[in-house]
Structure 1
Amino acid sequence: MANGWRWWALAAVVGITDAATKDWVRLNLFQGEVVPLTGFFNLVYFQNAGAAFSFLAGAGGWQKYLFIIIALVVAAVLTWALSIARPRTEAVAFSLILGGAIGNAVDRTQHSHVTDFLDFYWQNWHWPAFNVADIAICVGALILVCWTVFSAGGELRSKITAKQ
C-alpha cells in the first residue's frame, strides 16, 4: 500500500496539470478563439459537451451525467487496482488514466463540458481538439495495450520454447 501513494501522486499531478491548463485557456482565450503557434498546431478554446470526437455533444444535457458516472466508476476501479501491488508499467498506465478521468470529470462537473484546447492540423484537416487529461488517458491506454501485447508475447515465447 505504501508504494500505491506514488501512483496516486502521479494521478494527482495529471489532474492538477489538466485543471491548470484548462483554467489558463478559460482565462486567456475567448470561446472559439484560435491562436496559431506553428504551421500544424493551434491553441483553441472549445467547450466539448460530448466525449471523444464530440460523441453525444448534441444529446441535450443528459450525457453530462453519463460521462461523469463513467469517469467515477473508472476512477473507483483504478483506485482500487492501484491499492494492490502490481507491475510498475501497469501502475503508471492506471495512474495516467485515473488522473485523466478525474480531470475531465471535474471539468465536466464544474462547467457542464470539457475544455479542449490543443488543435493539431494538416492543411485543412484538423484532428479534434483535446486536452491534457485526454493525452494522459490515451498514453495510459497505449501503455496498457503495448504492455499486454509484449508481456503476453514473452509468455507465449516461453511456453513455445519450453515445449521444444
Structure 2
Amino acid sequence: MSIKIAKKLRITFILALVLLNVSCDQVLKNVVRQTIAKEERIHVIKDSFVLTKVENEGAAWSVGSDLSPLLKIIFLQIIPTLVLVFLLRHILIQTKYKKETVVGFAFIIGGGIGNLFDRIVHNSVTDFLILDLGLIKTEIFNLADVSIMVGSILVLFSVLVNKDEILFKK
C-alpha cells in the first residue's frame, strides 16, 4: 500500500472515530431532550442505573456556571475549541503516535466536541446518566463524558504499558 493511501486511510479512520463519538452523543442527548422532563428520574435498574435530564451551564460539576456570559464564552467555548482543534490537527499530522494513543485522543476530541456543541447551540450541556454500582458511584454525566474518560484511559494505558516508548512508536 502506498504511503499516500495509508495516510488517507489513517486520517479517515481518525475523523470517523471523532464523528462517531460526536454523533452517538448528540443522538442520545436529543432523545433525552425530547423524552425526559427536566429533573425527571427514570430508574432503569433500581437505583443502580438512572436516567434523568439536567442542563449543566458550566463544565464538570457545574464549575464556571456562575461566570459572566463573556467569561463563559472564553473559558467554556473559545479555549476548548482552540485546544480541540490543536489536538485534532496534531494527531492528523503526527504519524508517530501508537494506535491506542490515536484512538484515545480521537475519543477525547469527539467527546469534547459533543459537549462543546451543546454549549454553543444550547448554552448548556445535557447530562442524563447516573450509575451507582456500590463501589462505583457517579455524578450525572453524558455519553461525551464517557468518550472523554475512555479516551483518557486509552492514552494512560498507552503511557503505562509502553514506558520506554511513552506515546510514540520506536
Give the TM-score, by structure 1 length: 0.85
Q: Which amino acid aligns with 1:46?
A: V
Instruction: Give yes or no for the alignment of 1:59 onto 2:67.
Output: yes
Question: What is the rounded CA distance, in whole Å, between the counterparts of 1:48 and 1:126 in structure 2?
Answer: 19
Taking a change above 3 Å as real, the CA distance of residues 60 and 127 of structure 1, as seen in their structure-2 partners, is farther
Among 64, 73, 76, which residue is 2:82 paired with? Answer: 73
Higher mean displacement: 143-152 or 70-79: 70-79
Structure 1: where are the runs of 5+ without partners?
A: 157-164
| 1:128 partner SS | coil
Among 102, 109, 132, which residue is 1:98 paired with? Answer: 109
The residue number in structure 1 matching 2:38 is 31
Write the deviation string for residues 59-108 of structure 1: whole angstroms up to 9, x where unpaired.
34432441112321221122112222132111101100110111111111
| 1:115 partner SS | strand
Q: Is the 8 A contact 1:45 1:115 kept in 2?
A: yes
Q: Which amino acid aligns with 2:112?
A: A
Give the TM-score, by structure 2 length: 0.83
Higher mean displacement: 70-79 or 12-21: 70-79
| 1:119 partner SS | strand
Higher mean displacement: 71-80 or 92-101: 71-80
Q: Which amino acid aligns with 1:111?
A: H
Taking a change above 3 Å as real, the CA distance of residues 110 and 151 of structure 1, as seen in their structure-2 partners, is same
How many residue pairs match? The answer is 154
The residue number in structure 2 matching 1:42 is 50
| 1:116 partner SS | strand
Question: What is the rounded CA distance, in whole Å, between the counterparts of 1:15 and 1:70 in structure 2?
Answer: 19
